Structure 1
Amino acid sequence: MIYDNFSNLSAYKGFSKGLDKVIEWAETHKVEELPLGRTEIDGSRVFVNVMEADTRPEAGAHYEVHHKYMDLQMDIEGCEDFEVPSSYSQDEKGFDDAADIGFGDGPVGDLGHLGGGKFALFLAGEPHMPTLSNGTCTHVKKAVFKILSNEYYDEV
């Protein structure tokens, strides 16, 4: 996981092909001006989903994991907490390859806070639990950049 201010995103140039596309895009676009829904940056390799959601309590929530895509998440309005586990076990229902998502549980490893220009980049294979309430915000408008990992990037 990378956790930083969006204004520092260019410091991660060269980390991955897809993240480089996000960095280049961010040099000429403003995330807060994006409409709700999907905006393609590099076709299905790199795109951003802008959505609104109510924050939720940790109780009853599950970690999500992606095998092919990284998630770069940031709040445009409001704020939320997120967690990453110290260990993880996949739900017995398995992984949905078509949707590139699986769910599971594990003990809390680290807790972070989004809002105020911060972002979290969750790597492919890294479980994360976003959109958690923190006692401050109950609703967020957020951007989730979906970035295809290098190992799959040239296949698409």
Structure 2
Amino acid sequence: MITDTLDRLGAYYCLGGSLGRALEFLASRPLDALPEGRTDIDGDDAFLLVQSRETRPSSEEPFETHRKYADIHITLEGEEWMGYAPEADLEPLSGYSSEKDCRTYSGDGVFFRGGPDRFFLFFPWDGHKGCISMGAGGRVRKIVVKAALEGR
């Protein structure tokens, strides 16, 4: 997992491939102007989803991992917390779904407050969960980028 401020996206272009292209795309435009739904960056190798969702208590949301894609999460509006735990520290709840590129888990992790100036990069082996509330729930508008990692 990597978390940093949006003004430092350029420091991570060196990750290369679809992930580097996705980071460059994010740094090159006003993020709050992106439309709801899917925007292609590099076809199925890198795309983003702008979505609005209600936050939920951590106990109501499982951790997840992926095999094909790394995720970049950016909160545009509202307050959400992001959960993280190493995959090895989590207990599987489901088998891997290749259709959804997802496996779900239960367990404990650490939580970080999201915001419009910050991003979270989760690699396929990082257990993570978003749209978490630490108190009263609310609506968030956010970006989730999916960037395929070569060799995975």
- TM-score w.r.t. length of structure 1: 0.89
- Aligned twin of 2:81: 81
Asked if 1 retains the 8 angstrom alpha-carbon contact of 2:6 and 2:27, the reply is no
The CA distance in 1 between the partners of 2:31 and 2:66, in whole Å, is: 23
Asked if 2 retains the 8 angstrom alpha-carbon contact of 1:10 and 1:23, the reply is yes
Tell me how many residue pairs correspond in the alignment. Answer: 150
Shift, 1:20, TM fit: 1.4
Shift, 1:16, TM fit: 3.2
Unaligned runs of 5+ in 1: none
Aligned: 1:9 with 2:9: yes
Q: Deviations for 1:76-95, whole angstroms, at most 9, x for unmatched residues? A: 1112001112511211x311
- Aligned twin of 2:72: 72
Q: SS of the counterpart of 1:145? A: strand
Shift, 1:56, TM fit: 0.3
Asked if 1 retains the 8 angstrom alpha-carbon contact of 2:9 and 2:24, the reply is no
**RMSD of equivalent CA atoms:** 1.6
Q: SS of the counterpart of 2:103? A: strand
Aligned: 1:54 with 2:54: yes
Shift, 1:6, TM fit: 1.2
The CA distance in 2 between the partners of 1:134 and 1:60, in whole Å, is: 12
Matches within 5 A, 1:1-156: 1-85=1-85, 87-91=89-93, 93-108=94-109, 110-135=110-135, 138-152=138-152
Q: SS of the counterpart of 1:13? A: helix
Shift, 1:136, TM fit: 6.7
Q: Structure 1 residues 115, 35: CA separation in 2 closer, same or farther (over 3 Å shift)?
A: same
Asked if 2 retains the 8 angstrom alpha-carbon contact of 1:55 and 1:140, the reply is yes
Asked if 2 retains the 8 angstrom alpha-carbon contact of 1:78 and 1:137, the reply is no
In terms of fraction of residues, the more helix-rich structure is 2
Amino acid of the structure 1 residue aligned with 2:90: Y
